[in-house]
Amino acid sequence: MHTLTRTVRFSLNPADDPGASLPAVNGFGGSPAMHGLGRYYELHIACQGEPDPVTGYLLNIKEIDAAVRNAALPIIALACREAPQSDPAMLMPRIIAALSQRLGELLVSARWNLTPYYSIEMTADTSHALLRQSFDFSAAHRLHVPALSDDENFRAFGLCNNPSGHGHNYRVEPCVALRLDPAPIFSLTDLEALVHEHVIKPYDHTHLNENTKEFAAALGVNPTVENIARVCFERLRAPIESRSNGSATLRAVTVWETDRTSSTYPA
């Protein structure tokens, strides 16, 4: 079994823009390319199956491009023009249905990036959508286990065991499953408020080992990126379920401590 993914970039341009119909020549710019004060979006399409034994293709990517541009893009464009207050999650079942007509059972999921850090994803199970939004906070930490000797700590953590600690600009991305029947009562605004209250306020511009109970040097857990992801998940899970009356569930939290190192909990 193989999974093929394809990112399709496009802009929704003003209808009266004379450049709106010009062909796109820049893959990063998308097609249609941006003209005037357009809206830029991306759709990440995942398909799964067995490749054709002759061509080696699971699916020609041109078919995915055509499906997005001819079936999904018009749904988004119409909503932007006639119902700009629409919840993006409520458009996803129509987008999945339109893509499925073109791509069939090979379609696994579609993820709509409304910004580089905010997305809505849906699989064939159109009763739920996955909401993701990134946040950031700056904090210092020291990787240290009191039960280990100084030499053992240095062997385990190297320079990250510096007694004065060191800092990171952490990026945090919760993934929330929204129940869509009849409509989600948990919004991006709700998620923003809860993450600010339960993650950003207690951790931003702190020394995790010295200023927080979860990572306190004497009693807390070692503030590795793995443990930070788990603690953020545990801090957010109940508030999200409470705010949504159970219609939203925290699936996972991913934390990046650098652009090269991240941890997702639960996996």
Residues 118, 164, single domain; the answer is no
Residues 141, 52, single domain; the answer is no
DSSP letter assigned to residue 72: I
Instruction: Determine the Cα–Cα distance for residues 17 and 195; give it in Å rounded to an integer.
Output: 39
**Residue 24 confidence (pLDDT):** 66
Contacts made by residues 209-216, CB under 8 angstroms, sequence distance 24+: 209/141, 209/142, 209/144, 209/165, 215/141
Are the C-beta atoms of residues 32 and 10 closer than 8 Å to each other? Answer: yes
Report residue 94 as tokens.
Answer: 């129509």
Phi, psi of 81 (to 5 degrees): -80, -40
Residues 151, 116, single domain; the answer is no
Last residue of a domain, one of 104, 126, 148: 126
Residues 103, 142, single domain; the answer is no
Number of separate helices (H) and strands (E) present in the chain = 8, 10
Q: Which of 44, 160, 207, 234 is catalytic?
A: 160
Percentage of residues in the chain having pLDDT higher than 90: 85
Percentage of residues in the chain having pLDDT higher than 70: 97
* Cβ neighbours for 119, distance < 8 A, ≥ 6 positions apart: 111, 112, 113, 131, 132
- Please report, for residues 35, 43, 115, the alpha-carbon distance to residue 11 in angstroms, rounded to integers and kept in the order given: 8, 11, 12
pLDDT in tens, 30-57: 888 888 888 999 999 999 999 999 999 9
Greatest Cα-to-Cα distance within the chain, rounded to the nearest angstrom: 71
Residues 115, 164, single domain; the answer is no
The CATH number assigned to the domain holding 155 equals: 3.30.479.10
Residues 89, 149, single domain; the answer is no
Q: Which of 2, 197, 205, 210 is catalytic?
A: 205
pLDDT in tens, 169-188: 999 999 999 999 877 789 99
Residues 147, 68, single domain; the answer is no
Nearest alpha-carbon partner for 163 in 186, 146, 176, 177 = 146
Q: Given pLDDT bands bounded at 50, 70 and 90, which one contains residue 143?
A: very high
Structurally, the chain folds into a number of domains equal to 2
pLDDT in tens, 213-239: 999 987 889 999 999 999 999 999 999
Residues 253, 166, single domain; the answer is yes
Residues 69, 89, single domain; the answer is yes
DSSP letter assigned to residue 28: T
Neighbours of 43 (CB within 10 A): 23
Residues 137, 66, single domain; the answer is no
Instruction: Determine the Cα–Cα distance for residues 221 and 61; give it in Å rounded to an integer.
Output: 46
Instruction: Determine the Cα–Cα distance for residues 152 and 143; give it in Å rounded to an integer.
Output: 12
257 a catalytic residue: yes
Report residue 89 as tokens.
Answer: 């999650």
160 a catalytic residue: yes
Q: Which of 121, 173, 214, 257 is catalytic?
A: 257
**Residue 219 confidence (pLDDT):** 80
Q: Nearest 5°: CA angle at 195, between 201 and 264?
A: 115
Last residue of a domain, one of 103, 126, 149: 126
pLDDT in tens, 98-127: 999 999 999 999 999 999 999 999 998 899
Residues 224, 106, single domain; the answer is no
Residue 20 has pLDDT above 80, yes or no: no
Last residue of a domain, one of 126, 144, 164: 126
175 a catalytic residue: no
Range of the domain at 16: 2-126
Residues 64, 136, single domain; the answer is no
* Cβ neighbours for 20, distance < 8 A, ≥ 6 positions apart: 13, 14, 32, 35, 36
